[in-house]
């Protein structure tokens, strides 16, 4: 019988991939002693990438710190769906900051712990792309520049979802949002320079920067654990599809996150002290159209007439990423 190689994309879930790994290599989520940091009963939409990402990030950080962890959380979907006062789904010390100051609040917690000599307790901060790249950006840059001992995690769903899908500086070109309408020569969001938060974080020379998606949760856990081995300012940027804001089916969340990587639109990398140290290669390069089509926020590109010119510009963005980060696997 001819031999056929099987590629497993989702090593480390409850599914078959996990059982092929040694127990020590299995994901935090597959262990009975996982901390369930973000537990059931929260009010995220079905298929919410942010809820999934946060659960994996916090449980991995809890394991790495043996449960000695404090979180600061910016205003946004993650805070609203998890903590409608007086209820909360968090099972760790968790502070809701303002929309724009989670990095500063986390720095303050780290400073207070240092003053008390509590080097055993670690600090994470988390927020959406709006809270991180827009209103919280100055606080984040300060946290990086001072090298405060905080892991900051940005859950990037590419718009202000909590308040009704407004554009952020992480919204991709051509995407429809409540305030980037699909009209005119450049329908949807403009083709600007973009704001590449991981590269800007790297430019601060901080100990650790990584990107990840919810399509590879084992990789996400690994990066959180690596970050927790280090001290100083660390930054992880996680792509988390949002069915409501992207106009995608709930069941498509993982596939879209995978396609974002496989098109080259979302490079998955790891960097230490400003230098890229690892790149997740693309095993199956995919044209951007395959990623854009299932999302209603890009529906205006596939109408009558189709905007092939705009799709070509999005493809050029992906191609540039592929060249810039050497994303293609060379056999």
Ligand X SMILES: Cc1ncc(C[n+]2csc(CCOP(=O)(O)OP(=O)(O)O)c2C)c(N)n1
Q: Footprint of Mg ion on this chain (CB under 5 A)?
A: 128-129, 157, 161
Query: What CA–CA distance (Å, rounded) separates 39 from 63?
Result: 15
Range in contact with ligand SF4 (rule: CB under 6 A) among 26-34, 41-49, 176-184, 214-222: 41-49
Report which of 63, 68, 314, 89 is spatially closest to residue 187, judged by C-alpha positions.
314
Query: What CA–CA distance (Å, rounded) separates 326 from 187?
Result: 30
Q: 154 with 237: CB under 8 angstroms? A: yes
Q: How many residues bind ligand SF4 (CB under 6 A)?
A: 12
Q: Which of 27, 37, 49, 50 binds ligand X (CB under 6 A)?
A: 50
The yes or no reply on residue 48 touching ligand SF4 (CB under 6 A) is: yes
Q: Which does 163 bind (CB under 5 to 8 A by kind): ligand SF4, ligand X, Mg ion, none?
A: ligand X
Q: Which does 75 bind (CB under 5 to 8 A by kind): Mg ion, ligand X, ligand SF4, none?
A: ligand X
In terms of DSSP H, where are the helices of the chain? 16-19, 49-64, 77-82, 102-115, 129, 137-145, 197-203, 217-229, 243-246, 253-263, 288-292, 308-325
Q: Does 41 sit behind a cis peptide bond, omega within 30 degrees of 0 on the bond before it?
A: no
Q: Of 53 and 264, which has the nearer Cβ to ligand SF4?
A: 53
The yes or no reply on residue 75 touching ligand X (CB under 6 A) is: yes
Backbone conformation region of residue 110, classed left if phi is above 0, alpha if psi is from -120 to 50, else beta: alpha
Q: Binding mask 68-87 vs ligand SF4 (x if CB under 6 A, - otherwise)?
A: ---------x---x------
The yes or no reply on residue 230 touching ligand SF4 (CB under 6 A) is: no
The yes or no reply on residue 125 touching ligand X (CB under 6 A) is: no
> According to CB under 6 A, which residues from 241 to 260 bind ligand SF4?
242-245
């Amino acid at each position: 019988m001819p031999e056929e190689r099987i590629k497993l994309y989702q090593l480390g879930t409850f599914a078959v991939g996990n059982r092929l790994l040694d127990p020590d290599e299995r994901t935090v989520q597959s262990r009975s002693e996982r901390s369930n940091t973000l537990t059931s009963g929260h009010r995220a939409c079905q298929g919410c990438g942010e809820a999934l990402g946060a659960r994996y990030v916090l449980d991995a950080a809890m394991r790495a710190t043996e449960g000695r962890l404090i979180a600061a959380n910016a205003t946004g979907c993650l805070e609203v769906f998890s903590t409608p006062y007086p209820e909360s789904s968090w099972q760790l010390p968790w502070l809701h900051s303002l929309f724009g100051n989670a990095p500063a609040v986390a720095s303050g917690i780290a400073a207070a712990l240092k003053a008390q000599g509590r080097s055993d307790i670690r600090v994470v901060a988390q927020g959406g792309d709006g809270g991180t790249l827009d209103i919280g950006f100055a606080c984040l840059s300060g946290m990086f520049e001072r090298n405060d001992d905080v892991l900051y995690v940005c859950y990037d769903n590419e718009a202000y979802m909590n308040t009704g899908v407004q554009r952020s500086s992480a919204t991709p070109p051509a995407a429809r949002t409540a305030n980037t309408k699909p009209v005119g020569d450049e329908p949807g969001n403009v083709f600007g320079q973009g704001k590449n938060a991981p590269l800007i974080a790297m430019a601060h020379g901080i100990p650790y920067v990584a990107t990840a998606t919810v399509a590879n949760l084992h990789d996400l856990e690994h990066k959180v654990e690596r970050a927790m081995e280090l001290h100083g300012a660390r930054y992880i940027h996680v792509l988390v599809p949002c069915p409501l804001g992207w106009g995608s089916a709930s069941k498509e969340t993982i596939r879209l996150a995978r396609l974002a990587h496989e098109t080259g639109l979302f490079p998955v990398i790891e960097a230490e002290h400003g230098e890229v140290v690892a790149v997740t290669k693309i095993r199956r390069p995919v044209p951007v159209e395959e990623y854009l089509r299932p999302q209603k926020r890009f529906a205006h590109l596939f109408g009558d007439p189709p905007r092939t010119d705009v799709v070509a510009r999005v493809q050029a963005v992906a191609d540039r990423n592929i060249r810039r980060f050497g994303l293609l696997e060379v056999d």
